[in-house]
Amino acid sequence: MSTPALDLLDVSKDFGRIIALRKVALRVELGEFVSILGRNGAGKTTLLNIISGISKPSSGKVELFGSDPSDTVNKSKLAVISHEMFLYGNLTAIENLEYYARIYKVPNMKERIESLLHSVELTHRRFDLVNTYSRGMTQRLTIARALLHEPQLLLLDEPFTGLDQHAIGMLTKLLLEQKRQGRTILLTTHDLHIASELSDRYVIIEKHQITHNGPMKDTSPEAIRKKYFSIDTEVATA
Ligand SMILES: Nc1ncnc2c1ncn2[C@@H]1O[C@H](COP(=O)(O)OP(=O)(O)OP(=O)(O)O)[C@@H](O)[C@H]1O
Ligand SMILES: [Mg+2]
């Protein structure tokens, strides 16, 4: 078997007495698109932070492309899109992207930046300071920044939150294109329809453990919602 993009073995994480993850095992093959589903506080963001190396597991093992997440070879292979924007408000969109392009030594920098700004539909605002952007525009620029260096693994923590319908369509198209190009993608979302449209596989985290891991093609958003997310709603409205 070839080396997977990601291999987690019995990963646990606690913050003092708060348990965030308990013995999570997950293997993601190269080119797979996996959606991570679960209620608020289930441990999804914690899991992505551990995969990206931002946070260390309390116990267990994580391998990215066969080595430790903190290994320098992994830095250029990874992109993270989360609520943290990693953008400078007092710089323009172009200046922000040029700054990151230099760090990652992106070839054909100017063309790459123009093309990404076009993809996220910000060409007309490229010379404006980022602190004059709306929330959705800032998020679109974050997406462009994350894709600059053509990362092999994308970790997306609720990237659709705050986007309008048009921008949701734009990001969906962009992610499908990334998938076509063979990138490996992990997405957390509370939108089961988006998860269903994009992913090959879905994983459910419940009470800090993976309770389900299966192919998306064998199910539907309604079936997932009924099976995993509606029990408490029924109790609450009873
Ligand atoms: N830095 C921290 N310190 C203490 N507890 C934390 C910390 N980060 C996360 N937690 C706790 O770990 C658990 C999992 O949180 P996490 O943010 O991973 O959930 P989530 O599945 O991403 O939820 P959401 O859907 O709301 O984004 C929660 O109980 C949370 O309070
Ligand atoms: Mg979260």
Distance 161 CA to ligand 1 centre (A): 17
Could you read off the pLDDT of 160-189 as tens digits, one per residue? 998 999 999 999 999 999 999 999 999 999
Distance 18 CA to ligand 1 centre (A): 9
In this predicted structure, the answer to whether residue 41 has a pLDDT above a threshold of 50 is yes
User: What amino acid occupies position 108?
Assistant: N
pLDDT value of residue 2:
83
Q: Out of 11, 12, 13, 15, give the residue to mutate to test ligand 1, the one with the largest number of ligand atoms within 8 Å of its CB.
A: 15
Q: Which residues lie with the beta carbon below 6 Å from any ligand 1 atom?
A: 15, 18, 20, 38, 40-46
Distance 166 CA to ligand 1 centre (A): 30
Could you read off the pLDDT of 144-167 as tens digits, one per residue? 999 999 999 999 999 999 899 999
Does the pTM exceed 0.85? yes
In this predicted structure, the answer to whether residue 74 has a pLDDT above a threshold of 90 is no
In this predicted structure, the answer to whether residue 71 has a pLDDT above a threshold of 90 is no
The total of other beta-carbon atoms located within 10 Å of residue 48's CB is 22
Given pLDDT bands bounded at 50, 70 and 90, which one contains residue 235? very low
Q: Which residue puts its alpha carbon closest to atom 16 of ligand 1?
A: 43
Arithmetic mean of pLDDT, 44-66: 95
Arithmetic mean of pLDDT, 208-214: 94
Average pLDDT, the chain: 93
In this predicted structure, the answer to whether residue 209 has a pLDDT above a threshold of 80 is yes
In this predicted structure, the answer to whether residue 234 has a pLDDT above a threshold of 60 is no
Give Cα 197 to chain centroid, integer Å: 15
pLDDT value of residue 238:
43
In this predicted structure, the answer to whether residue 116 has a pLDDT above a threshold of 90 is yes
Arithmetic mean of pLDDT, 107-111: 96
Distances (CA, A) of 3 to 30, 34, 79, 177, 210: 8, 17, 19, 23, 22
Distance 127 CA to ligand 1 centre (A): 37
In this predicted structure, the answer to whether residue 233 has a pLDDT above a threshold of 50 is no
| CA distance linking residue 38 with residue 190, whole number of Å | 8
Distances (CA, A) of 106 to 151, 177, 196, 197: 11, 19, 33, 31
**Three-class HEC string of 90-143:** CCEHHHHHHHHHHHCCCCCHHHHHHHHHHHCCCHHHCCCEHHHCCHHHHHHHHH
| CA distance linking residue 164 with residue 108, whole number of Å | 31
Q: Is 186 helix (H, G, I), strand (E, B) or coil?
A: strand
Domains and CATH numbers, the chain: 1-77+153-238 (3.40.50.300), 87-150 (no CATH)
pLDDT value of residue 232:
53
pLDDT value of residue 212:
93
